[in-house]
Structure 1
Amino acid sequence: MTKNEPLDPVDWKILAELQNDASITNKVLADRVGLATSSCHERVRRLRANGTISGIHAVVDPAAVGRSMQAIIAVQLRPHRRDLVDRFTADALALPETLALFNVSGPEDFFLHVAVRDSAHLQRVLIDHLAAHPEVWHAQTHLIYGKAVTSPIRPDR
């Protein structure tokens, strides 16, 4: 199986189960998808080897670690130079408040997803870190209300 090869229904069942709970044992996973444990292990190994499964990690609730406020910051850079973009990207990802960074098309260049303690903490991130970059031409903050609603990757219909 290569990365571009279509997944079969069993592969999709494996992905659904692992996206729901990646900590389940191979035996439990095999039982749920109707495979022998060795066959299930081999499929998961191939899905990891070809990059379909790119990682397994714990999802930490930011509020549980004292960062109950989240925001998306739309950032425009000027000028657009590779060295400035690379520096901004590295610095944004180095911030402990950063949850995700998206390089996007449109009027903004980046969407920066951050988790902070409160509005004063958010202001420090904006002024002390983002505004400290002379290439940051404009930043617009959007507060996030509630928790993110996410969905697993599923097969096309």
Structure 2
Amino acid sequence: MPPKRTRAPKKLQQEHELDHIDRRLLELLRNDARMTNQALSENLGVAPSTCLARVKALQQAGVIRRFTVEVDPRALGRGIEALISVRLRPGARQQMAAFGETLKNVPEVTQYFFVGGMDDFLIHVTARDTDHIRQFVLEHLSADPVVATTHTSLVFEHVSGLASL
């Protein structure tokens, strides 16, 4: 089953004011989404029922969108990562949504961003080696008639989960 893709944040289902307990709860879950309710409540200094109610409220409000696992690409035989900027042809702007949809089914694509500025998409890929990245660009980007240009940058270090709460 292909991984679930996260879309750009939508407006929260309801306004949810985050207090210091909610922020700490989110920080704990960001560091370990598998942390038990008991461990969360102990860390927060609240009753387990209160902790569970807060997690459910954060989910219902759309603050917590999903729980996930981050897999080291090297464990899958993909020891190199790249960020590829893509600019579509001016006449192909109406095909942006379709282009994004095709990226969802390509195994090398771990995430992509529809961006403003000089480029239209920023694609994060994992691959076995540079030849694999080259093949990806040739088959999935350069061969696509809607693509005008690409620019590939190799990733030397990938640090995630730094957003402050």
**2:107 aligns to what SS in structure 1?**
coil
The structure 1 residue matched to 2:159, chosen from 146, 149, 152, is: 149
Which deviations, in whole Å up to 9, do the C-alpha atoms of 1:105-124 show, x marking residues without a partner?
Answer: 11100100000001111111
CA separation of 1:66/1:81 partners in 2, compared to 1, >3 Å: closer, same or farther?
same
Which deviations, in whole Å up to 9, do the C-alpha atoms of 1:7-26 show, x marking residues without a partner?
Answer: 00000110010001010110
What is the alpha-carbon distance in structure 2 between the residues aligned to residue 31 and residue 99 of structure 1?
35
Partner of 1:21: 32
What is the alpha-carbon distance in structure 1 between the residues aligned to residue 46 and residue 35 of structure 2?
15
The yes-or-no answer on 1:139 pairing with 2:150 is: yes
**1:142 aligns to what SS in structure 2?**
strand
**1:81 aligns to what SS in structure 2?**
helix
Gaps of 5+ in 1: none
Do the aligned partners of 2:85 and 2:120 also contact (CA within 8 Å) in 1? yes
The structure 2 residue matched to 1:73, chosen from 84, 87, 102, is: 84
Aligned pairs for 1:51-70 within 5 A: 51-70=62-81
The yes-or-no answer on 1:93 pairing with 2:104 is: yes
Q: Identity of counterpart residues, as a percentage?
A: 35
How much is the aligned-residue C-alpha RMSD, in angstroms? 1.5
The yes-or-no answer on 1:5 pairing with 2:16 is: yes
Cα shift at 1:63: 1.0
The yes-or-no answer on 1:116 pairing with 2:123 is: no
What is the alpha-carbon distance in structure 2 between the residues aligned to residue 3 and residue 73 of structure 1?
36
Cα shift at 1:152: 3.9
The yes-or-no answer on 1:33 pairing with 2:44 is: yes
Cα shift at 1:139: 0.4
What is the alpha-carbon distance in structure 2 between the residues aligned to residue 149 and residue 2 of structure 1?
30
What is the alpha-carbon distance in structure 2 between the residues aligned to residue 152 and residue 135 of structure 1?
34
Task: Tell me the number of residue pairs that the alignment of Structure 1 and Structure 2 aligns.
Answer: 153
